[in-house]
Amino acid sequence: VSDAPIVQFSNCRILRDHQLQREDLWVREGKILNPEKLFFDEKGSADVQLDCKDSIIAPGFIDVQINGGFGVDFSLATDDFKSGIDLVSQKILSHGVTSFCPTLVTSPPSVYHQVLPQISVRNGGAHGAGILGAHLEGPFISKEKKGAHPEHCLRTFEAGAFQDLLATYGSLDCVQIVTLAPEMKRSSEVIQELTKRGICVSLGHSVANLSQAEEAVQHGATFITHLFNAMLPFHHRDPGIVGLLTSDKIPAGRRVFYGMISDGIHTNPAALRIAHRAHPKGLVLVTDAMAGMGLAPGRHTLGQQVVEIDGLNTYIAGTKTLSGSVATMDTCVRHFQEATGCSVETALEAASLHPAQLLGIEHKKGTLNYGSDADFLMLNDSLYVQATYIAGEEVWRQDVSGM
């Protein structure tokens, strides 16, 4: 039995088993405790009691697609890349993000070779949100649906397809997600090889039809990168990748997840509602935030491109091509709840439970189950973050004096 201090969070509503429940939350050594075991087996009690003043306590948000923020671009190989990633991981604590996948857009091989060795999987703490591994979005994507990705860096799979991918990225050591276009020749073998290594394969920036998308899922793909964006629009005779949400060709026991940028710009609220109603358990909120998030309007970068921020709109400079977002995760959660009229529980799980299930880490993140990591948020009824905790320690709190 550990003699580490036990903290009891009381006067709160905890999100557990898809419901807000009026219970206390007990934490010791960074994990969530089962109070019954504590009382009956250890005859223990709390060392510290915290009054949560009727806050909602929810699992910390997990952002599986974030390209940067606060002037830092994860797709730029700089000498101080590490301090850049540290800055972003620190700043997103105030948005309720407790772990994330730094995302690289299509880049030349030299960028992957320089940047990927500087990304390491690590736990969160007072220094910032935890890093779950990189999300490599491209360069194996479709020219027609490249979005904000630079065309001259796009690649196809040659004869030794997987070796080709390895040579491009240099290493897969810290890679958690790869987004590719499944209609590309030889993509099936690549999907199988990545899946075998425990890497999540996401379909995106693609002109795939539904049967190509279904084949990719049968080979192991489990995610769709920013649904509706950079893919063929839904068509009733061939719904394309969007059709995966209601496909009957998904292997038994498997779930397809899909990312949505719920910022009010990338997806019309009606489209958000259609997706959510069709497949609520697969929806994963992502910010797709770029370097300009948290900065003033003007010119910023996204990998090899120059982008312009105008309000919440971000375009490739001189065009009307959307390029990532400047939305924060807590804003996306609130917008999603407002647009769909879903329950508070559903909105919170789309940013916590679902991304954890996608990455296969739901036994330790994304829930407040006993034994899980004590990464959680205190929120008010309007879903504004009041405080962020990682491993049971407060890492950010709203400054009430200035409000």
Which of the residues are catalytic? 288
Tokens of 27: 């934490």
Residue with tokens 């939350």: 25
Give binding residues for substrate as ranges.
148, 229-230, 237, 266, 322-324
* Beta-bridge partners for 68: 73
Distance from C-alpha of 237 to C-alpha of 3, rounded to nearest angstrom: 63
Q: What's phi and psi for 163, nearest 5 deg? A: -60, -35
Distance from C-alpha of 79 to C-alpha of 70, rounded to nearest angstrom: 17
Distance from C-alpha of 278 to C-alpha of 394, rounded to nearest angstrom: 37
Amino acid at 140: F
Give binding residues for Zn(2+) as ranges.
137, 205, 226
Cis peptide before 102 (omega within 30 of 0): no
Distances, alpha carbon 222 to alpha carbons 104, 204, 216, 234, 265, in Å: 19, 12, 9, 19, 25
The answer to whether residues 133 and 176 touch, using CB atoms and an 8 Å cutoff, is yes
The residue among 276, 355, 345, 382 whose CA lies nearest residue 58 is 345
Say how many C-beta atoms besides its own lie within 10 A of residue 277's C-beta: 11
Distance from C-alpha of 203 to C-alpha of 258, rounded to nearest angstrom: 9
Q: What is the dihedral of CA 224, 229, 232, 236, to 10 degrees?
A: 80
Helices (H), 65-141: 81-91, 109-115
b/e burial code for range 236-271 (CB count within 10 A of at least 16 → b): eeebbbbbbbebeebeeeeebbbbbbbbbbbbeeeb
User: CB under 8 Å to 290, separation ≥6 — which residues?
Assistant: 67, 68, 69, 73, 300, 302, 307, 314, 323, 324, 325, 326
Burial of 295 per CB tally in 10 Å (0-12, 13-18, 19+): middle
Give binding residues as ranges.
137, 148, 205, 226, 229-230, 237, 266, 322-324
The answer to whether residues 291 and 283 touch, using CB atoms and an 8 Å cutoff, is no
Amino acid at 152: H
